[in-house]
């Protein structure tokens, strides 16, 4: 019986330590759970083919994509990897 009381006392102390450690640790936010630990920064592709639907093309141009020949460039792209020479993206 005495051994059972010692076991219960040790169990209670162990549970108390875990709750103190959890209280001092910062709580993870919901965004931390959604983000991967060390995800590489992704870049949009430099060249996107022209959509066949004219309405989709109009939406992409309104969103900031730049038409250039037979393809589109996302916002922020200033040079075309398919261009020969010093042709710039307008």
- Is 34 within the bounds of a domain? no
Predicted TM-score (pTM) of the model is: 0.46
- Is 49 within the bounds of a domain? yes
Average pLDDT on 23-37 reads 62
- Is 86 within the bounds of a domain? yes
- Is 38 within the bounds of a domain? no
How many structural domains does the chain have? 1
- Is 23 within the bounds of a domain? no
Cα dihedral 23→25→31→32 (10° resolution): -150
Which pLDDT does position 75 carry in this prediction?
Answer: 86
Specify the higher pLDDT residue, 62 or 9.
Answer: 62
Per mean pLDDT, which of 5-9, 54-58, 67-71, 78-82 is the most reliable?
Answer: 54-58
CA distance 3 to 79: 77
- Is 80 within the bounds of a domain? yes
- Is 25 within the bounds of a domain? no
Confidence of residue 57 (pLDDT cuts 50, 70, 90): very high
| Domain that includes residue 55, residue range | 44-90
């Amino acid at each position: 019986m005495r051994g059972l009381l010692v076991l219960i006392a040790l169990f209670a102390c162990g549970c108390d330590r875990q709750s103190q450690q959890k209280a001092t640790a910062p709580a993870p936010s919901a965004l931390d759970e959604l983000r991967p630990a060390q995800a590489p920064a992704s870049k949009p592709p430099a060249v996107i083919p022209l959509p066949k639907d004219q309405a989709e093309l109009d939406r992409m141009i309104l969103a900031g994509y730049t038409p250039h020949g037979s393809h589109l460039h996302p916002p922020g792209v200033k040079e075309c990897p398919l261009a020969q020479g010093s042709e710039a993206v307008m």
